[in-house]
Amino acid sequence: MLLEPGTERSGGITDDRAVLQAMLDVETAWVRVQHRLGLVDDRVVTAVTTAAEADRHDLAQIARAAEDGGNSVIPMLASLREILHEQHTADPSDAVHSVGQGAAVDLDGAVHRGLTSQDVIDTALMCIGARALDALGASLASGADALARLAHEHRRTVRVARTLGQPALPTTFGLTAADWLTALDDVRDELADTRGSLPVQCGGAAGTLAAIEALAPGRSLEAADLLAEELGLASHGRPWHTDRAPVTRLGDVLVRTADAMGRIAADIVLSARLEIGELRERPAEGRGGSSTLPQKQNPVLSVLVRSAAIEAPHLGAVLHSAAGLAVDERPDGSWHAEWGPLLRLVRRVVVAAAQLDEVLSGLVVDVDAMRRHVDEVGPALVSERVLTTVAALPNGAAAVAALRPVLRGRARARHLTPLLRAYLPEAVLSDADIEDLLDPLQYLGATEPLIDRALARHDARPDARPDARPDAPEHPDSSQGET
């Protein structure tokens, strides 16, 4: 956490305790499946559920012992069985047994039977992924709502559109916010699709379900489906021990989300520079300062979101490298290589989404600075319109030839008007026509329909809250100060 600021925002979703609990949840769900198949009684389910609480286990000891078997399932099972034994010793009258194959089986023998370590870890990681996507979706929904409000409020707040770092045309901050909104709504759709497809892993030692079939003849595939149902995951229809598409699919949607968030954060960081000053993060006590420079007010949350976006593709690349090296019926190292990058990717993106939500919910928009930059660029910002319009007029070709070098110099309107008049008499182009021609608000293209389209799509979502948006100012382009 010291070198990953904001980790606490993840709610511990990927920490060691969460991973242990997810594995224990898989074992408990598998016992419930056995109960539904008639292989164990109620008391087995109750005993395992009680013992499968992460806080009852020595996490550090399980972690130390994981090296001996190459994964943490083996020591986790030893700990679980030890706790079950202690429970039974404390109450020997509670003769909890299972009834597999017509013979009594000790309670701890019912735990994990038919599964393999990869079944437990893969399924636990899918459970963690599902919880992460739920948290991620909530943060993005809140951030998207904030963007919808900004798009609505600033639909005619004019600003400079920049291409290749240079002023290009007039646009509005409302369209910028709508563009960001569309990107977040896109990834929210992808997150929902991925969330619904995260599968359970249930194949036994070599993906044949042999031990499960022996426990419940003719019902092994049903058992796998029941496990998915118990855990709220999808049923893949088959084991996927060496088909790592579920892992890479989860990784890919996380990277896509990081991309969308990173682009927004990058725009905010750039716009927060003093010489631009169009956007700022909402001030918070103790945030954004420097260890040596008292005047600094850094956009730290946006910076942290950018850092996650920079790292995420490389973590996703490890998952794809591992997927391409999975061999035989169970991978020999490539599977193990997934765990760290996947958990880090989940954590980084979940934290970044929470940070971005806070940024967008309190974003300070300086409409004066936006208008000032429009005025600084001058008529050059509408040069496309000026040249196109003038070229179609009588004597327009000569006027265009004279205008081009002046516009390259970002001429002021007061310089451009006499030049236009020198080539085009008032009968051809009146003073009112010139004023309209040079007005950036008259060359905003389809900005408002594009904003409306983004808002309509957002408002059509089941969780939309359009009623939470205030009415837009009648003329927000003339507003003073910040919002």
- Hey, which residues are catalytic here? 290, 330
**Distances from the Cα of 404 to the Cα of 187, 320, 397, 409, 433, angstroms:** 43, 51, 11, 9, 19
Q: Which two tokens stand for residue 47?
A: 């005993």
- Tell me the DSSP string of 410-442: T--HHHHHHHHHHHS-TTTS-HHHHHHHT-GGG
Q: Which two tokens stand for residue 69?
A: 């078997």
Q: List b or e across 47-71, with b for residues whose CB sees 16 or more CB atoms inside 10 angstroms.
A: bbbebbebeebebeebeebeeeeeb
Q: Which two tokens stand for residue 450?
A: 């594009």
How many helices (H) and strands (E) in the chain?
Answer: 18, 6
Cβ-in-10-Å burial (0-12, 13-18, 19+) of 349 comes to: buried
Q: Which two tokens stand for residue 233?
A: 């995951």
CA dihedral 112, 118, 124, 129 (to 10 degrees): -160
CA distance 261 to 350: 11
Q: What angle do CA 252, 248, 344 make, to 5 degrees?
A: 75
Cβ-in-10-Å burial (0-12, 13-18, 19+) of 236 comes to: buried
Asked if 347 and 14 count as a contact pair (C-beta separation under 8 A), the reply is yes
CA distance 435 to 389: 13
4-8 long-range contacts (CB < 8 A, ≥24 apart) are 4/347, 4/348, 4/351, 5/300, 5/304, 6/301, 6/304, 6/351, 6/354, 6/355, 7/347, 7/351
**What phi-psi label fits residue 466: left (phi over 0), alpha (psi between -120 and 50 degrees) or beta?**
alpha
